[in-house]
Structure 1
Amino acid sequence: MRIFSLKSCDTCKKAIKALRDAGKDPEVIDVRADGISDADLDSIIAQFDEAAINKSSTTWRNMDETEKTMPIKSLLTMYPTLMKRPVIQNGDVWTIGWKEDAQAAHL
Structure 2
Amino acid sequence: EVSRFLAAFGDRLVNRASTTWRGLDDAARAAGPAALLAAHPTLMKRPVIDRDGVLTLGWTAEVKPLILK
What is the TM-score of this pair, normalised by structure 2?
0.89
Match of 1:91 among 52, 61, 64: 52
Structure 1 ranges of 4+ moved more than 4 A: none
Superposed, 1:45-84 pairs within 5 Å as 45-84=6-45
Segments of structure 2 that go 5 or more residues without pairing to the other structure are: none
Identity of aligned residues (%): 37
For residues 41 and 47 of structure 1, what CA distance do their matches in structure 2 show? Answer: 10
Counterparts of 1:99 and 1:56, CA distance in 2: 15
Query: 1:102: Cα distance to partner?
Result: 1.5
For the residue of structure 2 that corresponds to 1:99, the secondary structure is: coil
- Structure 1: 5+ residue stretches without partners: 1-39
1:43-100 deviation digits (Å, cap 9, x = unpaired): 1111111110110111001101111111211111111110111111112211111112
Q: Which has the higher contact order (CA 8 A, sep 6+)?
A: 1
Please point out which of 62, 65, 68 is paired with 1:104.
65
Report the TM-score when normalising by structure 1: 0.60
Aligned length: 68
